[in-house]
């Protein structure tokens, strides 16, 4: 009988932040093994920061506004974030929390003051935005992030089970689950990790 697998094609897409991987990492070894395989093609694509037009598309779709109406706001956001998609998202979230980007339910429109947005000082890029976001957390939620940061960018559930008894009144699992809901950490079957290294730094 013919082998149904023979001749089949597999297409795999993976992403990684280059500043988190060096030539000595397990991932680098794995990629080298793949490149040495017969009949396997590996294509590297470097993703650059968004252009002002790209940021405008992102904001236009987020606000459900035409690009003509969001172009000026997008220019300001691009200037503040340098087009980093993660920074753009966090900056927009920060604007809504600070009521600098507000949706009017009666008018069904978004309102913003570009002069106030432009005047906001972000001395250390998105790190300052994330710091403000972290300061809005409760004491227990912040303690959960601090504890996670002690292990680096990620920690296994097995290790968490070992340190759980030393957390006092803090229910570390429930705390980390909440932090996952607000997109500060991610949970897989075996570990928790920060969604971005900038959160760990902040």
Q: What is the pLDDT of residues 177-192, one digit of tens each?
A: 888 888 788 888 788 8
The dihedral of CA 114, 117, 121, 122: what is its sign? negative
Q: What are the pLDDT digits (tens) for 130-144?
A: 777 788 888 888 888
CA angle 182, 176, 100 (to 5 degrees): 25
Q: Could you tell me how far CA 117 lies from the centroid of its own chain?
A: 22
The model's pLDDT over 37-82, given as tens digits with 9 standing for 90+, comes to: 878 888 888 888 899 999 999 999 999 999 999 999 999 999 888 8
SS3 85: helix
CA 15 to chain centre: 13
Give the pTM: 0.58
């Amino acid at each position: 009988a013919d082998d149904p697998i023979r001749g089949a094609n597999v297409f795999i897409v993976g992403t990684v932040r280059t500043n988190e991987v060096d030539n000595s990492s397990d991932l680098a070894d794995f990629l080298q093994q793949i490149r040495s395989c017969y009949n396997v093609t590996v294509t590297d694509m470097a993703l650059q920061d968004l252009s002002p037009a790209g940021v405008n598309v992102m904001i236009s779709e987020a606000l459900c506004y035409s690009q003509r109406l969001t172009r000026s706001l997008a220019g300001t956001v691009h200037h503040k974030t340098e087009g980093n998609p993660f920074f753009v998202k966090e900056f927009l979230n920060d604007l809504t929390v600070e009521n600098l980007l507000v949706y009017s339910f009666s008018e069904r429109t978004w309102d913003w003051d570009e002069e106030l947005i432009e005047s906001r000082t972000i001395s250390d890029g998105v790190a300052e935005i994330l710091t403000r976001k972290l300061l809005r957390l409760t004491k227990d939620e912040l303690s959960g992030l601090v504890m996670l940061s002690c292990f680096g960018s990620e920690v296994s559930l097995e290790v968490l089970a070992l340190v759980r008894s030393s957390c006092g009144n803090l229910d570390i699992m429930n705390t980390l689950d909440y932090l996952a809901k607000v997109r500060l950490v991610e949970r897989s079957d075996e570990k928790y990790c920060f969604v971005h290294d900038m959160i760990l730094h902040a």
